[in-house]
Structure formats: C-alpha cells, structure tokens
Structure 1
Amino acid sequence: MARKKTDLPTKVCPSCGRPFTWRSRWRRNWESVVYCSERCRRSKPKTT
C-alpha cells in the first residue's frame, strides 16, 4: 500500500529554511539527514 506524501515525515533544512520530506533513498539514515540537498550541505547555514 502506497503512502500519501502528506503522511511522510518532514524536516526543515538549516541552510535554506525550507521543509523537505522523506525520500526512499534516505530510508536507512533518515535520522542523520540534515540538509535538503548537496548544495545546501556545502553552503553555510543561514543566520537569522
């Protein structure tokens, strides 16, 4: 049974501040995923 996208867990990227949802490629290490993309991972976190 497929899950709806609204049922998937989400996190907020500390670099861009946007929310991102769980992806199947992050299945094994979702707890350690911090950034939404490689570009955000390489850039400095936004300071507010």
Structure 2
Amino acid sequence: MKSAATGFRGNKAALPSKPCRACGRPMSWRRCWARNWTEVKFCSDACRQRKVARHG
C-alpha cells in the first residue's frame, strides 16, 4: 500500500503547504510535486504566466 509508505493516511490537513508567489493562495502538497516540492512556486499555469508577464 503506497499511502502507508508515504505517511499519508487520508488526512489532507497534515500535508505540507506554502503560498503561491503570484496569487498568495495556499498550495497543498501533491504527489506529482513530490520530487521537486522545494522548487514549486506557483499554484497553476495561469499564475506562472501572470508572474512572468509582470516582470517581462
């Protein structure tokens, strides 16, 4: 069972989270971000494009 190996037992409140750099909304950890969670900065493609457009 994979969830037992990762420590996730169905309690989403126990997952780590951090704010999106573009909109400030909290992002919860996702399995697809497991390898690069420290590098994730934006909650969505829309926020990523908005942030790049502001500085460009």
Q: Distance in 2 between matches of 1:34 and 1:8?
A: 17
Runs of 4+ more than 2 Å apart = none
- TM-score, normalised to structure 2, is 0.71
Please, what is the CA RMSD of the aligned residues?
1.9
Query: 2:31 corresponds to which residue?
Result: 24
Structure 2 gaps, min length 5 = none
1:44 Cα deviation (Å)? Answer: 2.4
Per-residue Cα deviation, 1:1-48 (whole angstroms, up to 9, x for no partner): 3241000000101111111100000010000000001110110288xx
- TM-score, normalised to structure 1, is 0.81
SS at match of 2:51: coil
Question: What is the aligned residue count?
Answer: 46
Q: Distance in 1 between matches of 2:24 and 2:31?
A: 22
Q: Distance in 1 between matches of 2:34 and 2:40?
A: 10
Q: Distance in 1 between matches of 2:51 and 2:34?
A: 26
